[in-house]
Amino acid sequence: EKDWREFASQLLGGRLSMIYEGEPFPEIVRIRGDAKEYCLNRGVYAGESGTGPTSGSLWMPVSPNLTGAGHPCQKILSGHKGSVQAVKLTKDGNCACSGSWDGTIKMWEVESGRCVQTMTGHNGSVNAVDMSDDGSVVFSGGDDKTVRSWDSETGVLRFTMKGHTGQVWTV
């Protein structure tokens, strides 16, 4: 059976591993100092007895395998002129498409970070994107109450589906 303290220890360990602009994150440094003091005092702060789930043992790792929170940024895909609302990767992970408040859908080569196609046609924000299994067709939904289908290689609009009475948020 799992030790109930493990989750809290993993959360703390993951947060302590965060780095901010190449330097330890100031708030994490403070939390780390507080936790160290708390542990050295065996969890006894004003009014505590030093036993139970609020004692210092809560802060002590019960597993030597604490993983960091998240993964380092691998690539930044820049090119939209508005906030990105949706992103979808191809099954092989080589390409991605993104939809933005700027009304465009962009196809990206993930490895190089290069935009290979920009699709325009929505009147307003693009809120949702998806792709066919082979990545050849992109679907988008937007503020203009339409779902659109695009050829991902040429960027040509294949067809538009109308009839929604409100913004399209998922496709």
Half-sphere exposure of 52 (CA within 13 A, CB side): 5
Model pLDDT, residue 54: 45
What's the N-to-C CA distance of the chain in angstroms?
41
The model carries a pTM of 0.59
pLDDT, tens digit (0-9, with 9 covering 90-100), for 128-166 = 999 998 889 999 999 999 999 999 999 999 999 999 999
> Would the pLDDT of 102 be above 90?
yes
Q: Which two tokens stand for residue 94?
A: 């080589």
> Contact at 8 Å (CB) between 90 and 111?
no
H or E stretch covering 128? strand 126-131
User: Can you read off the two tokens belonging to residue 74?
Assistant: 């691998």
pLDDT at residue 73, rounded to an integer: 64
Distance (Å, rounded) from C-alpha 101 to C-alpha 123?
10
**Which pair of tokens denotes residue 143?**
């503020």
| Angle subtended at Cα 30 by Cα 28 and Cα 32, rounded to the nearest 5 degrees | 65
Q: What's the half-sphere exposure (Cβ side, CA atoms, 13 Å) at 129?
A: 28
The rounded distance, in Å, linking the Cα atoms of 49 and 169 is: 52
